[in-house]
Every structure is written in C-alpha cells, then in structure tokens.
A and B are shown apart, each in its own frame.
Chain A
Amino acid sequence: MTTPSSPTPAGPPGAAPAQGRPERAQQAGAGTWTAAGDPVIEARGLTKAYGTGAPALVDVSLTVRAGEAVAIVGPSGSGKSTLLNLIAGLDRPTAGSVTVGGERIDQMSETASARYRRAGVGMVFQFFNLLDDLTVLDNILLPAQLAGLDRARARQRAADLLGYLGIARHAAAYPGRLSGGERQRVAVARALMNSPAVLLADEPTGALDRGAARDVQQLLVDLGREGLTIVLVTHDIALARACATRTVELVDGAVARDVLVSRGLTPTGDTPFTGPTALTGHAGITGGTAAAGDGAVAR
C-alpha cells in the first residue's frame, strides 16, 4: 500500500469547531480555536477511580496545543486509555476538568457530549471498532449521518476520504473481509469524516503486523504534517518517534515524563525518548509551543 504524497483538497486537515450544528461547523472552517499553537485540549487535575481500587488516573494535567501530535506512552494499565476516554467525553473524571476548544467536556450533558464527539474529535481504536454488518462506505458515512449531514455532501466527502486513504475499491466490502491495515484505514477515514479538530488514537497499530503498522504510521505522520492535532496512545516506539511532536509518559496513572521531540526521528540507540524536560504534574504549562509539521524541538 502506498501513501499518497499529496492529499485531496477535501483532505483531513483539522479545521472544525467542536460544537454547534454540524452544518455550521462545516461553514465555520478554520475556526476560532484551532489557530496553531493555541491550547486545544486542557486537562486539569484529572483523577479517575473505578470502584474502590487504586485510581486509574491521579491528578493528571495536560495541555495539547493546536497542531501538536502527542504520544501518550507507558506500561499497560497505567491509565492511557482512561485519559483518552476522558478527553473523548466517553467517560467522566472523578475529579478535575477537561476543556476542549474552550468547552468543558466533563460537565456536558450526554447529548452535548455526543455532539462534541461528532464534530470535535475523531477516534481510532486498536481493534478498529468497525461495525461488521455495515459496508466500508456505510461505516465511513455513519458520523455524517448521525450528524444529519446533507446526503450528497456526505457521500462526496466519503469518496474523497476513500480515495485519499487508498481504500476506494473496498467501499462496498464488509470490514470482515479486509486486512488489519485496511480496516484501520477505514477507521481513520471514519474518524476524519466530520473534519474533526482532534484525532484521538488508542494503540492504532496495536493489532497490526509490522507492515501494516508502518503503513498506518505513515498515514498518521501525514495527517500530523497537515496540522491535525493528534493524541496518540501507543506502545509502538517507532510510531511515537515518527509521529509525535511530544511524548507524555504515564506511570501508575500519573505523568512521569513530558518530552518535546521532533517528528520523524528514526529510532536510534536504546534511549528513544530523549529530551531535556521531564515534567510531572503540570505538563504542558511549561511545555512551550510546538509548531506543527516543522519537526523542530521547541525547547
């Protein structure tokens, strides 16, 4: 599989506001809260406890700026998915707040939170989470249909995405027939359908073989280069290196390190995460600005 070098005009760059009716969202274009460098996601003092055991997240703060590609790394069970779910509004924190694009996600009604996910974020999962009984095209169309988007426009957008991601010939197939890499491309297409400002990806290469993983990695790198804000949970060092402008390491539910890196580095030696800064507690406040796509280390 090849990765297109130049995206179509209808390509994925993140330029959609997180709230409001989708039609308006589309018109708003490169909007108010996605100017490069402005904070897009602001998590403050996030704590999440399930039941009575040790909390999955303890007092985590994190600021993600527009155009950043943040890789969240850490051992299994350290709370990475939990953090991502809180940012997606799929779950509510026990304490602390999440603000995305100036909106408090943690206090939204279920309906507002669904609208936020529709327009504001796209999600990609380790196990794809495609609907097996819908065709590839229907899977991709779904976010637009839930948002009540105009049919013709939705179909045009879906066609553009299918082309951009090189999976147009699978449009009528069911996901079960596709390879892992293809499935993840479908998932990415679906995540980009409503032109979200932020892409959230939870172990997107975790279930893929090496080749497919590199393939998806390249895709994410391209999206990052185009300025899409990405929060990426991964074990995959190569992916983090290639894609991230910054890595945040969680250990036992707390931020252990927060490092700005330059995108596109190839793995070298045994210390993949090099960088001077290891911040705890108030990650991002002192994190400076990461210019999208220029590969520069900000500090």
Chain B
Amino acid sequence: MRLGSGRAAATRKVVLGGLGRRRAQTAVLVATVLTAVTASLLATGLLVGSSAPFDRAFSQQHGAHLTAEVDAAKATAAQLAATTRLAGVAATAGPFPMTTVHADLADAPGAAGPDLPPLAVVGRDDRAGPVDRVSLVDGSWVDRPGEIVLAASLDFRVPTGTRLVVRDLPGSPELTVVGIARSTSRTADAWVTSAQLSALTAAGGQAGYEMLYRLDEAGTAAAVHAGQDAVEDALPDGAVTATRSYLDLRRDANAVSAAYVPFVAAFGVLGLAMSTLIISIVVSGAVGAARWRIGVLKSLGFTPGQVVTAYAAQTLAPAAVGVGLGVLLGNLLAVPVLADQADAYGGPDPTIPLWVDAAVTAGALALVAGAAVASARRAGRMRTVEAISLGRAPRAGRGRLARRLAGRLPLPRPVSLGLANPFARPARAAVLAAAVGLGALGVTFAVGLGTTLTMIQKENGGESPAAVAVHLGHAGGEPGGGQREAAPGEAPGPGGGPAGPETVTVDPAAVAAAVAAQPGTASYYGLAQTRLGVRGMVGAADVSALTGDPAVAARRLITGRWLAAPGEAVADTRLLRAAGARVGDQITVTDAGRAATVLVVGEVFDGNDDANLLTMSSSLSGLRLDLAPEEFGVDLAPGTDLTSYLQAAEDALAPLGADAEANEGDESTVIVAMISLITTLTLMIVVVAVLGVLNTVVLDTRERVHDLGVFKALGMTPRQTIVMVVTSVAGIGAVAGLVGVPLGIGLHHAVVPLMGDAITTGMPAAYIDVYGSPALAALAVGGLVIAAAGAMLPATWAAGTRTATALRTE
C-alpha cells in the first residue's frame, strides 16, 4: 500500500532526495547494534567459554577439588587415609609420597650445561584412580624405578628418552623420561614409582605426602574452604603444610581471557547504552518525520498497534543485520584469545558456546525491539487530528527564549542560530548529548587503558629496568647451545639437536668482576633464578636471588618498598595471596627440607602466571643452593654512551663466555592483542557516536528544510549554512564531552584493578593514575570533535540542497 502519494510525497521526495534519506539511519543502526553485540558477545563468550577447556579436562580427569600437602613427620599415611571418610569428602587419592628433586640433564656437559628447575616429584604407581586421572600426552606411565614422567605443564620440554641425573644425592641416581603427562589439578611436576620415590627420600630427600580430595560441594570458594577446614581438623596440628583449591587453578587457566572480560564488558555496556539511545533517536525521528503519514494511516483505520508495529519493524531489519554481523565479529575476535589457553588442556580449540550466541542475539533483538516499540508507541497513541495537524515541523514555540537570548550574543548570526537550535528539541538534544557523552567516555576510557597497558608493557617486558643486560653462557660471543630453557626437540641427548659440545666453562665471579670493572658501570646486580617451595602454598614459586646492588633491579611496586638488605624480600600478589601473607610478614621458602625465612617489605607488580619472590642471594644461604648469577643488570653512570659501553663490554665479556646487550624488554603478545582489541572497539564506539550525531542532524535538517530554504533565499551562503548546522550540535557535543571525560576516567579506575585481579595481581597507583594534563586537554575537546565530525556531512548536504521547492509549501 502506497500511502502519502501525490503532491506531499512528491514534494518530500524532491526535497529530501539529497539528504540521504534512510541510508544514514540504516548505517547508524547497523553500526551501533554491531558494536554493542560484538562487545557483549565477546565479554560473555570469554567469561563463559574460556573456562571450557579447563572444565572439560578437569571433569574428564576427576580433578582434585582440594590438594593438600602434609608433613610426613606430623601425620601418618593411615591418618590421611582416614580422611576419606570425612563428611563432605566424595573421593580421595593418595596419600602419595612426595619430595623435591634437583635434576640435571645427564648428557649435558659441565656445570654450565642446562639445568632444570627443582621438581616436585610424586610417587604414584597408577595414573588412574578415583581422583586426578592423569592423562598421558606422550610415552608411557612409570613402570619401574629409574623411570620418570614429566608434567606437560612444566616451563621446559624434553623428549622421552632423555636421561636426568640427580647429582646432589649420593650415588647420583639417574632417571629416564618415559612419558609426558598432564594433570589438570597440577598435582606434580613429575611422577616416579613409589619405590623410586622411597629410594630418593631414603637417600636424604625430604618426605611429605600429597592427598587429593574431591568434595561433595565444590562450587564456591567457601565450599572448598569448608572441605579444607574439615581435613585440617581431622589431622594433627600443623600437619597440613599447604592446600590449594581447584578454583585458583581454574582462575589461572582463564587468567588471560579473564583479563579481557572487564574492559570488553565495559565496552559492551557502553555499546548497549548507545544502541538504546540511537534506536530511540532513529525511531522517534522516523515517527516525527512521518506524523502526517501516520495521521493518514490512522484516518484510514489503522490501529495504533499496527502503526507501532510498522515503525518498530522498520528498525528491526537493520538492527537484525547489526546483530548478525556482531555475533560473527564477536566470535572471530574471540578465536585468538581463547585459542591461547587451549594448548594447556588438550582438546579442540575452544569457541564461544552456541548458547551464548543465541542468548546475546535474543537479548539484543529484545532490546532493540523494546526501544523501538517504546518510541513508536508515543506516535501510536497520538490522536489522529493532532497527528495530521502537526505536520512535519517540530512543534512551534519551543526554544524561542533560547533563540532570542542567543540572538543577543555578539556572535555571527549563523552561530547564534545554531547554538539555540537544540532548545527547540530538548529531548532529542538530550539523547544526542548522551550519545556524544558516551562516545567521549569510551575514548577517555580507551586512552587510559592504552596508557596503562603500554606502561605495563614497557616496565615489565624485561627482567628489570637496568640499562644493560649481561647474559652468561655465550662462549666466544657466538650464540649457541647452553640456553637455560631447552626448547622441545632441541635438548642435547640421543637424536637431539645439532648443538656442539660447550668447551668454555663460564665463571660467574669473573663476569661479575668484569662488569664491575667496566668503565661506565654505575652499579649492577647479579640474578639467579630458581623454583622453591613457599610454606603455606602448594607448588613452587619462582625465586629471584640477587647479588650486588638490588636497587638496580627495582621494579614497580604495588605497596611497600623495594628490598634493600639481606633478609628482605618483595613478592608478587599471587604469592602473597597463595601463602596468605602480607607486606610486613615473614615468609619461609623451603627446598629439600631446608628452610630460609625472609621479611616481605614490598608487593611487586608481576603479570606472569607464576608466584614470584625476589630477595638477596644471601637471604637464602640456609638452603645451601648454588645461586651463582646467570645474568647481570647494569645501570650506567650519567653521561655514559650506551652504544660505546656495549661495544667495550662485549670486548671484555666475550672471552669470559658472556655477552652484553641493551635491556629491551620483550613485547607481550597479550598486551599487543589487548591494545588492538581496545582500538577496534573504541573506533566502533566513536563511529557509532559520530553516526548518531550524523543521523540526528540529518533528521533535523530534513525537518527544517523549509527554514533552510528561507535562509538560503535571504542570502545564507553554503559556508554560513555549514556553520549553523555544525554549531547546532557543537555546543551539546562540547558539554557532553566534558561530562564524558571524568566518567571515562572513573570507568578506567574501576576496570584496571579488575583486570589485575583476573591475573591475580594488584595494580600500582602509577598504572591507574595515567591521565596527564595534555591527554586530558585533548580528551576534553573529544565531544566537540565527535559532534563536529558527525554534523559535517549533513551540513554540507544542507548547504548544497536545492531548497526552492521547500519555499512553495507550508
């Protein structure tokens, strides 16, 4: 049915032909819904989908809800076995004997050869059982003494057949790697037969037990905690040395994608809010523009319901396109993020679950329909006479005072006409302000996030802020074998890589002396890294043992201060939380039955997924470990030229088997990915805000085509027209932008700690207070820029439209 034909329709066609008609509306609807759906879907999908690989593997393996390490001197195996019958315990495995083993690669030459971190080894004859059914990734399970299976979760990989030697035990027992296995509950670094484990502990190792529990109730941290309390109460005081909830592991498993969730969700909410606003602008604009037509429809007997449906339907089609594209884009963007953690648990690459797609689609469509119906309803209720008589123009009389006042301002007339314009349509102006404000908010938020992430990248890419890094193990200046971490298939051994035998034995003390003697060296530290147990915490922590001047290694702190003396340490949030400690507490690190206690003086920022502790080497002397530095960090005296320092250092160090390079950090692929996602989402938000402005100005221009014709007849030039149209939204834009900036800062300040929380770290204030004055000044005009950008195109159309016809009719 073609209503509104005849003169009015023909006139409108002629008049509006150049104004882009529905194209702007369609574009803005598609873009805004696309943005909202993409971000919402991505957030929900990452939240839900990223735990899928862990959850699947965990349930397949009957993973341990609770892992307890027990002091073998304080509780017996029989006492532990009795905990199986505790109320709330569904199943147990163990007690398995366990110890820490310092193993080296048997075929690696000399002391400078690659050595492995200490391994938490569990004696376990059967990988099946009621809890923690360890799955084999490669090779076979341990069958007899002399065999060892390594965990797939270790930082390093060696092929099966590799021989390990435990040099610090009498007789230097040898173990052959027969398999690689995966425990979702991470119950060990390596497994041997229980007979082999007895042999290792009998030779002087520290004995403990590991007990694995599945609980009846394990859905919440509190439930797991209750199980933990029950187990601890059932055993002698102090017998349980450490416990771990599977929820912590689950969290770590999703840490990276979980870190995306807070900011992606924020963008999702922004997108949804903008969608609602823009839909209401579009629908009420369409209804407003068609009041006359609606009147005709109603006079012909259309019910209000039919009118509402017609106008709501008009927005649903482009919105549905936006939803479809958004679902597609959201799924695509999720792929690289989710794939990151797929490796850790085997199985197919995770994707966003279908039900999330379905739910987000349904939710978005419901929101669009709701907003559309609400706006169209006003028109549906309008009385017929009123609808016909109102015509297409905005109700006369609104904003007259504003016009009169603006006219008195000492401004060019086109500017004062433009400035007063929003007052004629206060509701629309308010919605427009909200859209621009949200755009400015989004930009402010994104700029802050980008700054925060860039800072984190810059400060944490390397080991320390030292200017120069000196690495040991490169003989004759030629990079070769002897890297600390052997890549898979590269380890020396039968069929191993081409690495030739190392002939130079590196002396760390000689390197330290050379570094100290180098002209230009202001101060330096030496660093040895190892993995040690921490009392109260299951699993090992990465421990950095420093020599020299610890201040050179100073990293960004969350609280407290950097370590300055032996006996002091800084730890990351993860370690402090896992060990239940705080800055000011003592922490005991353990290794093979020996212990050393340090005082935590600071909480250091660390984005990696290991617990970290930094202290002076001498603090750990009680452990009797070989903590000779593997690398040095050097600060240069003021005025020292880096390039010539490196040149000279290289000459001095190469003969000693060390090399020097500028300490430039590695780029974190996660941060790079995050920044690119933030950029994408922000661009989408800005595009939506600009299109929202554009659409509003198109509507406005269309409604005011008659006035524009009059202005033109009176000699308004195209430039004056553009100025008038642009200033009609620039004022709103400027004000809305100014409001959006503090809100964006607030959002940033709320979201950044949540991102830290996802990767189990606190956030230093410096990473939160990132808005400098220049950035704020630039952001303050953001709203103005968005408004002007959105108004420019329709302003140009308005300036160029032939308005002669508009002058003939009223």
Contacts and interface: CB of A to CB of B under 8 A. Distances in A.
B530 interface: no
Nearest to A130: B710
B493 interface: no
B808 A81 contact: yes
A280 B400 CA distance: 50
A287 interface: no
B399 A133 contact: yes
B713 A129 contact: yes
B809 interface: yes
Contacts of A297: none
Interface in B747-766: none
A207 B396 CA distance: 20
Given A129-B709, A134-B403, A138-B404, A146 B716 contact: yes
Interface string A109-139: 0110011111100010111011111110010
A90 B400 contact: no
B290 interface: no
Contact of A176 (B396, B706, B710): B396
Contact of A91 (B399, B802, B809): B802
Nearest to B398: A133
A117 B400 contact: no
A148 B714 contact: no
B414 A146 contact: yes
Nearest to B810: A127
Given A91-B804, A133-B399, A133-B403, A123 B713 contact: yes
Interface secondary structure of B, over-half rule: helix
A138 B407 contact: yes
Contacts of B414: 146
Contact of B718 (A91, A114, A116, A145): A114
B6 interface: no
B102 interface: no
A131 B707 contact: yes
A190 interface: yes
Interface residues of A, number: 35
Given A90-B803, A125-B807, A148-B412, A190 B396 contact: no
A111 B800 CA distance: 10
A90 B396 contact: no
A90 B717 contact: no
Interface in B710-766: 710-720
Contacts of B720: 114, 146
Interface in B770-810: 799-800, 802-804, 807-810
B379 to A, nearest CB: 23
A117 to B, nearest CB: 4
A147 B400 CA distance: 23
B397 interface: yes
A158 interface: no
A88 interface: yes
B413 A90 contact: no
B714 A132 contact: no
Contacts of A111: 717-719
A117 B804 contact: no
A85 interface: yes
Nearest to A126: B808
A161 interface: no
A133 to B, nearest CB: 5
Contacts of A131: 707, 710
B467 interface: no
A198 to B, nearest CB: 13
B712 A90 contact: yes
Contacts of B400: 133, 174
A91 B801 CA distance: 10
Contacts of A147: 715
Nearest to B403: A133
Given A129-B709, A133-B424, A146-B414, A117 B404 contact: no
Given A131-B707, A143-B714, A90 B804 contact: yes
Interface string A224-260: 0000000000000000000000000000000000000
A227 B809 CA distance: 31
Contacts of A126: 808
Contacts of B800: 110
Nearest to A129: B710
A142 interface: yes
A90 B403 contact: no
Contacts of A148: 412
Contacts of B424: 133
A116 B404 CA distance: 28
A146 B711 contact: yes
Interface string B325-339: 000000000000000
Q: Which 9 A-B pairs have the closest CB atoms?
A: A118-B715, A145-B413, A114-B717, A90-B804, A117-B715, A127-B810, A85-B804, A111-B717, A91-B804
15 contacts: A88-B713, A90-B713, A91-B804, A111-B718, A114-B712, A114-B717, A114-B720, A117-B712, A118-B714, A119-B715, A129-B807, A133-B424, A138-B403, A138-B404, A142-B714
Interface of A: 81, 85, 88, 90-91, 110-111, 114-119, 123, 125-127, 129-135, 138, 142-143, 145-148, 174, 176, 190, 194
